[in-house]
Amino acid sequence: MSSESTSKPMYEKIFEALREQIIERKYEVGDRVPSEKELGDEYSVSRITSKKALELLANEGFIVRQPGRGSFVAEPQEKPAAKTASGTGQQHHSPRKSGGKLLIGLVITDFADSYGTALIYGMEEASRANDSYLVLRRSFGIPSYEEEAIQGLLELGVDGLIIFPAQGEYFNAEILKLAIMKFPFVLIDRHLKGISAGSISTDNAKAAAQGTNYLFELGHKSIAFLTPPPMDTTAIEERIEGFIQAHAEKGVMVDRELWIEDILSVLPQGNAEENRVRDVEKIAEHLRKHPQITAIFATEYNIAQLAQRAANELGLRVPEDLSIICFDSPEINGAFPLTHMKQNQFDMGRTAFENVLKLRAGETLPNKTLLDATLMLGMSTGPMKPRGR
């Protein structure tokens, strides 16, 4: 080893070693490189030293660092034939052969009458209008299924992707690869922090504030807030923000003691009747413990259904004794049983599809597109009446 090499700081040596491995394609574009801890263990250095080496690589454009996920090989600034995220030699935006139809993939957790069906209708309508086709795959909110779906659709040769990410604290590595590779994709109902990717969603904060203000107009002040764990899920975080904002604007104190933030049976991994029974019991006990509650704001339709079951168990009438409002509700026999904030799912789906096509055409789109929700009055809300203890 030369004296020049031995005199170099360790972080430079680690930087150069990793740089060579990336150049020699030991690590492909989108691959994860060793973490600060792994490099520290390998080279017997502190995490400060390994962190500095990774920062140098990031500054030179060799990697992209994502908090909570790791560091991943970035696409070179100049490359004659860009690789796709599926590993083939096809360029991302290359047009299909003459007469071919564009194929856009959709990865969605699941769909039902309350949420998802109208979303798909909007995408399908846009695909028809643009002489394209939509290919759907459900992930059921399971990250490994989501990764498999993205990989499979890419192998199928889709020209773009629409992704409704699974709930969770971290986005999966396949989505990160799409961002690094600049593959045309759009996110639905989620804005993933730290990723430069276009998203289409409801203005959740505004909608939650509107729904909360409606309860205030009915005289309700002690409002329970029911939600699954936020877990960095932006839609839920924004609904919480809107609920708090409405209280602040009306000068009403937010009582977090009235909240339940661990409704688990609505999560994909908790979708079982025994879990729903536990959540119903949890809500019923909460209502017994806090008799001042006169209204419930549920972040999802399925949670509102659980609240109705809990009210029935306690002999509470909806809306005479307890008002309930939520996001989304199916229409039954021409009426809405639940007062809810109706998301503009059709336009959300249509816009998502059209935005993927725009990305393929090289257009620059805003990171976030927000659509207004509409307050739909149902049979679950009424004027406030104090509940007896």
pLDDT digits (tens, 9 = 90+) for 145-204: 999 999 999 999 999 999 998 765 556 778 888 888 889 999 998 776 666 678 999 999
- More confident call, 343 vs 94: 343
Q: What integer pLDDT is reported at residue 140 of this predicted model?
A: 87
- More confident call, 52 vs 292: 292
Confidence band of 47 (pLDDT split at 50, 70, 90): confident
Query: What is 3-73's CATH number?
Result: 1.10.10.10
b/e burial code for range 68-95 (CB count within 10 A of at least 16 → b): ebbbbbbbeeeeeebbbbbeeeeebeee
Give the lowest-confidence range in 94-98, 260-264, 280-284: 94-98
Q: Which CATH class is domain 204-343?
A: alpha beta
In the predicted model, is pLDDT for residue 2 greater than 90? no
Q: What integer pLDDT is reported at residue 86 of this predicted model?
A: 38
In the predicted model, is pLDDT for residue 66 greater than 60? yes
- Beta carbons of 72 and 66 less than 8 angstroms apart: yes
Confidence band of 111 (pLDDT split at 50, 70, 90): confident
Rounded to two decimals, the pTM is 0.73
Those residues whose C-beta lies under 8 Å from the C-beta of residue 368, and which sit 6 or more positions away, are 191, 198, 199, 201
Q: What integer pLDDT is reported at residue 168 of this predicted model?
A: 55
DSSP string spanning 26-91? SS-TTPEEPPHHHHHHHHT--HHHHHHHHHHHHHTTSEEEETTTEEEEPPPS--SSPPPTTS-S--
In the predicted model, is pLDDT for residue 348 greater than 80? yes
As a whole-number percent, the residues of the chain with pLDDT over 70 amount to 87
Dihedrals phi, psi of 280, to nearest 5 degrees:
-60, -45
Domain ranges for the chain, please list them: 3-73, 102-201+345-372, 204-343
Confidence band of 94 (pLDDT split at 50, 70, 90): very low
Distances 31 to 51, 149, 173, 254 between C-alpha atoms, Å = 18, 18, 9, 45
Q: Residue 279 and residue 272: Cα distance in Å, rounded?
A: 11
- Per DSSP bridges, beta strands 323-327 and 295-298 are parallel
- Per DSSP bridges, beta strands 198-202 and 259-260 are unpaired
Those residues whose C-beta lies under 8 Å from the C-beta of residue 136, and which sit 6 or more positions away, are 105, 106, 108, 120
- More confident call, 349 vs 88: 349
User: Hey, do 102-201+345-372 and 204-343 end up sharing a CATH topology, with the first three levels equal?
Assistant: yes
pLDDT digits (tens, 9 = 90+) for 289-336: 999 999 999 999 999 999 999 999 999 999 999 999 999 988 777 667
pLDDT digits (tens, 9 = 90+) for 3-19: 444 567 888 889 889 98
In the predicted model, is pLDDT for residue 386 greater than 60? yes
CATH number belonging to the domain at 102-201+345-372, selected among 3.90.700.10, 1.10.540.10, 2.60.120.460, 3.40.50.2300: 3.40.50.2300
Q: Residue 95 and residue 298: Cα distance in Å, rounded?
A: 45
- More confident call, 145 vs 94: 145
Element (H, E) at 205: helix 204-217
- More confident call, 366 vs 340: 340
Confidence band of 288 (pLDDT split at 50, 70, 90): very high
Report helix, strand and coil shares of the chain as percent, to nearest 5: 40, 15, 40
Confidence band of 48 (pLDDT split at 50, 70, 90): confident
Q: What integer pLDDT is reported at residue 28 of this predicted model?
A: 87
